[in-house]
Amino acid sequence: MPDLTVFSKLESVLGLTFKDRDVLVQAFTHRSYLNENPSFTLSHNERLEFLGDAVLELVVTEYLYHNFQRPEGELTNLRASLVNARTLADVALGLKLDSYLLLSRGEAKDANSKARHTILANAVEALIGALYLDQGMEEAKRFVLQHILTKLPDILATEKYRDPKSTFQEFSQKYVNITPSYKVLAEWGPDHDKHFRVAVYLDEEEVAVGEGPSKQEAQVAAAVNALKEKKWS
């Protein structure tokens, strides 16, 4: 059995004390841990993740609505940049939440994979769900404001909220009247840690190539490179 007293340290980091610490522990319990420890009395964190995802979206949406007079499409892109797995994994790493994860031995060894980043992002959502259940909406909101919405200035400064694929398509149609297409050139790696190389084309012209841990992310990387290649901004 794990040493669950370490979660008192996390409570100190969060600046609060859980009424039911089991809810906090459950937020960090991955399904794989239960497969190896069937006598563990708590469930995995997927239901808390489901709840936390909804709370996170509501808090971020409300904040953006009240603080930014922008069209709905831009607000949607800003929200997506704040609640995506990459941002949430960065938040988790900044808080050193990986040290609290309850994982199978196999998952615990796989520290730098895309799968681990997904587990960390899911744990942040589960933690928000646990905060909501145990501490109420105000504490869940405080966490989101303090640890997630603080990423917003960088997202705005670097325009990370702009979707490179949409931007490249917009310019392609404007300048050459062509809709871009994407093709997977190669993929490799095991199922839990795949890698893709994708090219973006304007008709028969291969404009640029991008790589990433999913087809979507490789397409985005290709679009970014294509914008640079064409000097469209």
Active-site residue, selected from the candidate residues 49, 98, 125, 134: 125
Identity of the residue numbered 139: E
CA distance 54 to 41: 26
The set of residues, in sequence order, having a beta carbon less than 8 Å from that of 121 and lying 6+ positions away, is 84, 85, 86, 88, 89, 92
Is 53 among the residues known to form the active site? yes
* pLDDT score for 112: 66
Number of domain units in the chain: 2
Containing structural domain, residue 73? 4-158
pLDDT of 2 strictly over 80 = no
Identify the active-site residue in 49, 53, 98, 107: 53
Residues 132, 226, single domain; the answer is: no
Over the stretch 132-142, which tens digit does the pLDDT of each residue have? 999 999 999 99
Any catalytic annotation for residue 138?
A: no
Are residue 31 and residue 138 in the same domain, yes or no? yes
Tokens 């709370």, residue located:
55
pLDDT of 113 > 80? The answer is: no
Clarify whether residues 178 and 115 are in a common domain.
Answer: no
CB burial readout 42-51, b (16+ within 10 A) else e: bebbbebbeb
The letter for the amino acid at 66 is H
Q: CA 69, 73, 78: angle at the middle one, nearest 5?
A: 75
Q: State whether 55 and 22 are in the same domain.
A: yes
Residues 147 and 200 in one domain: no
> Residue range 153-162: average pLDDT?
82
Which of 190, 227, 193 minimizes the C-alpha distance to 210?
Answer: 227
Q: Which of 137, 158, 179 is the last residue of a domain?
A: 158
**pLDDT by residue (tens digit) across 58-83?**
999 999 999 999 888 788 889 988 99
